[in-house]
Structure 1
């Protein structure tokens, strides 16, 4: 086979491979775009399937009226849970009398307070390197409760596997490492939200 025929053969093989692979690449690109920029949707009491009733994606969740139980967490008007990742096929259940708005996650960076620490006011998932600088921190919380205590986890960036868990039933202060790409999961409480609790992260320089 001379060089010309070899070139034509390689071109045909390449085109065939591209035609076969292109739909999968296109799906991956579309899924990524949807994940990063899903549509805003307002929902109420009921059960919803991600991919059918709701686009998959990462959402900021806000109760705009009433009281609801959103995925087992009790929320009232103006309560927010940030950076919630909803996957295709997942069931989202809402109970109660109220409305919930799902908006594309804003990934807003957290500014350092005048006291020299980062204060987190909403439960949710925060990306290190994007919303908080990487580094070592003293993790604590401010506020009182007779019911529960905050629960914090560090998750891996790709599949959100649990890397570290911090339970404030055991200690009041933890020293934690946060690496770029990690996800910091904040639960002021596991089953309800409270404005009385603030999670504090003080950098260790």
Structure 2
């Protein structure tokens, strides 16, 4: 079987836009094809946290992001929230891996109950039903009982819950170091090489 070098990345309205941008850059640097989904709330967060003003139209957003990442048209594709004929909407053509980063608790809830009202929710549902790999990176504190119950339910179905909670044992010297910590963990779980952060007991080059 041909190796699937495609990853769906969804950005939702939780705080943590820099995690998403760094993850996308790392995926592209490893020659992965990124199918990108961006919620309306995520565009607000991107503008607030990163100063990035993305247009609502997917084709315009794709054009801007390809310039930002220096990516080709085939390597970075952006789909709107109701593009039901996009590859990510069907189990017959969707990538087997998906990361929601950051993942809002609203999106977490929708995925947990299988609502599929937006393309992000549908794409996550497809990955789960096809027994693919779904990684959620929630960023919320404190967590309510409802949040924890949703996480438990998804974890029991094989979803990886990876809260945006960077460690400090690598002695971070900047915000970028903290961002890299989380992105490195996501890349590890995707089975991709990373030299952003040294693994415990090893040097960064190991």
TM range (shorter): under 0.3
Give the structure-2-normalised TM-score. 0.25
Larger Rg computed on CA atoms: 1
Structure with the larger helix share: 2
Give the structure-1-normalised TM-score. 0.25
